[in-house]
Amino acid sequence: MLQVSNAIKRFGNKLALNDVSITVEEGQIIGLLGTNGAGKSTLLKAMAGLLKLDQGSITFDGASPSIATRASTAYLPDMDILYPWMTLSDAMKYMRDFYWDWDPDKTHRLLDYFELTASSPIRQASKGTRAKMKLLLTLSRQARYILMDEPFSGIDPFARQQIAQAIIDDFIEEGQTILITTQEITETEHLLDEILFLYEGRLLLTGQVENLKQTRNQSLLDILKEVYDGARL
Amino acid sequence: MEFNKIEPIYAQIIQDIRLKLFNGTYTLGQEIPSRRELAKTLGVNPNTIQRAYKEMEDMNLIVTHRGQGSFVTSDAAVLAAIREEALYEAIHQSMELLRSFGKSDTEILTLIQSYLKRGASSCSKYLTQSSDLVTN
């Protein structure tokens, strides 16, 4: 179980996380939703151990972040982690050398599924192809927690569909805990068990997607719009 | 299968299976896709499928045998009950629509009787056109 308690993070004058507390149950796909600058990426990076909170804590099964917790967490960043001078197979070798839990069989299946050529230079890859490459590198590790920062951002609907399917297929097999930040609410809500809706560093709404729809009889986007409008008043 | 964005997905899945049983796509006792298969095919979170299946099991609409798969009920009484419920639901929705036109229940009943007497051949031009669209 992943627990965030009273997290506060400042960047200069800006309060990026303003007393955020959440409990993440295992074996779920959680959507971290919100406007640009709401704090989603910051929260994810803090969970990945890439930034230190100013106040508050994050624990994995009760333990503070450590080398051990880092090993069980795979982080897919918004930015390109891949060095443009590498080919995909260079990047795969790099990851394999770095992580003990690299799964070569899964890598090959994903290569086939995404129809990627390992020898292709990353520099020449389109946005959609890079997104698939990033996902391949992230899912080829056997991590209990997978943190994905905007995996669907700026890619075409066809690539997005493939990526969503790959996430589902992997989740069916492995049953990990997956946290995804995304702007594409309508296009990804069918993947999500739970949502965390952030606004200006505060958690405005959490809930199981299916339950929210059942009680409010609205689309997820409309539910969030209402909550957002309420917060802005 | 297309999902609408408003109803919970698990409810839509249950509706779909009910409908398939109702219209004969599934026969009594027929095997349905496993939870995993359905999640993969539909590209939907498997926990949502799990919820749908659990509810259908509680309703006795489906039965899951460990190691064998999931099956639609073989109990004809259950099918009859579902069919009746679906018919009542359809009637209810039509009645609500007709009532919204300002007709009383007795007026509606008279209208239905005259409609049935007239028969399909003498339907208005508008209705004929829309039935052409349906058959094409």
Size of interface A-B (CB pairs under 8 A): 53
Q: What is the tens place of the pLDDT at every residue in A169-207?
A: 999 999 999 999 998 899 999 999 999 999 999 999 999
pLDDT surpasses 60 at A3? yes
Q: How far is B47 from chain A (nearest CA, A)?
A: 7
Residues 6+ apart with CB under 8 A from A30: A24, A177, A178, A179, A180, A192, A193, A194, A195, A196
Which bin fits A205, alpha (ψ -120 to 50), beta or left (φ > 0)? beta
Q: How far apart are CA B1 and CA A120, in angstroms?
A: 36
Q: What is the tens place of the pLDDT at every residue in A9-47?
A: 999 999 999 999 999 999 999 999 998 889 999 999 999
Fold of B1-100: Arc Repressor Mutant, subunit A (1.10.10)
pLDDT at B10: 97
At position A203, the amino acid (one-letter code) is: L
Nearest beta carbon to residue B40 from set A172, A190, A217 = A172
Residues 6+ apart with CB under 8 A from B74: B28, B29, B63
A169 touches chain B (CB under 8 A): yes
Partners of B15 on chain A (C-beta within 8 Å) are: none
Which of the residues B47, B50, B53, B54 would you substitute to probe the A interface, choosing the one with the greatest number of A C-beta atoms within 10 Å?
A: B47
Partners of A220 on chain B (C-beta within 8 Å) are: 5
Q: What is the tens place of the pLDDT at every residue in B89-107?
A: 889 999 999 999 998 999 9
Q: What is the CATH number of the domain that holds A106?
A: 3.40.50.300
Partners of A26 on chain B (C-beta within 8 Å) are: none
pLDDT surpasses 80 at B9? yes
What does the DSSP assignment read for A32-72?
A: EEESTTSSHHHHHHHHHTSS--SEEEEEETTBPS-HHHHHT
Could you say which DSSP state residue A192 is in?
A: -
pLDDT surpasses 60 at B128? no
Phi, psi dihedral angles at A81 (to 5 degrees): -90, -10
Minimum Cα–Cα distance from B9: chain A residue:
A210
pLDDT surpasses 70 at B133? no
Q: How far apart are CA B132 and CA B136, in angstroms?
A: 6
Average pLDDT over residues B30-53: 95
pLDDT at B22: 81
Q: What is the tens place of the pLDDT at every residue in B72-81?
A: 999 999 888 8
Partners of B3 on chain A (C-beta within 8 Å) are: 190
Partners of A213 on chain B (C-beta within 8 Å) are: 6-8
Q: Pick the residue with more confidence: B125 or A110?
A: A110
pLDDT band of residue A82 (cuts 50, 70, 90) is confident
Nearest beta carbon to residue A190 from set B6, B7, B45 = B45
Element (H, E) at A89: helix A88-98
Q: Decide the pairing of beta strands A14-24 and A2-11.
A: antiparallel
pLDDT at A20: 96
Average pLDDT over residues A211-223: 95
Cα B16-B94-B76 angle, rounded to 5 deg: 45
pLDDT band of residue A81 (cuts 50, 70, 90) is low
Please give the residue range of the domain that contains residue A58.
2-232
Percent of chain A beyond pLDDT 70?
A: 99
pLDDT surpasses 50 at A149? yes
Mean of the per-residue pLDDT values of chain B: 87
Q: Pick the residue with more confidence: A127 or A199?
A: A199
pLDDT at B122: 57
Q: What's the pTM value of the predicted model, to 2 decimals? A: 0.85
Indicate the number of domains in chain A.
1
pLDDT at B136: 46
pLDDT band of residue A116 (cuts 50, 70, 90) is very high
Domain ranges of chain B: 1-100, 103-136
Percent of chain B beyond pLDDT 90?
A: 63
Q: Strand A145-149's sheet: what is its strand order?
A: A73-76, A145-149, A177-181, A29-34, A194-199, A202-208
Percent of chain B beyond pLDDT 70?
A: 88
Q: How far apart are CA A79 and CA B11, in angstroms?
A: 38
Cα A222-A225-A228 angle, rounded to 5 deg: 155
Q: Do B11 and A214 touch (CB under 8 A)?
A: yes
Q: Do A168 and B5 touch (CB under 8 A)?
A: no
pLDDT at A58: 94
Highest mean pLDDT, choosing among A61-65, A91-95, A211-215: A211-215
| CB burial of residue A118 (10 Å; 0-12, 13-18, 19+) | middle
**Residue at token pair 């391949």:** A136
Which of the residues A189, A210, A222 would you substitute to probe the B interface, choosing the one with the greatest number of B C-beta atoms within 10 Å?
A: A210
Which of the residues A30, A177, A190, A214 would you substitute to probe the B interface, choosing the one with the greatest number of B C-beta atoms within 10 Å?
A: A190
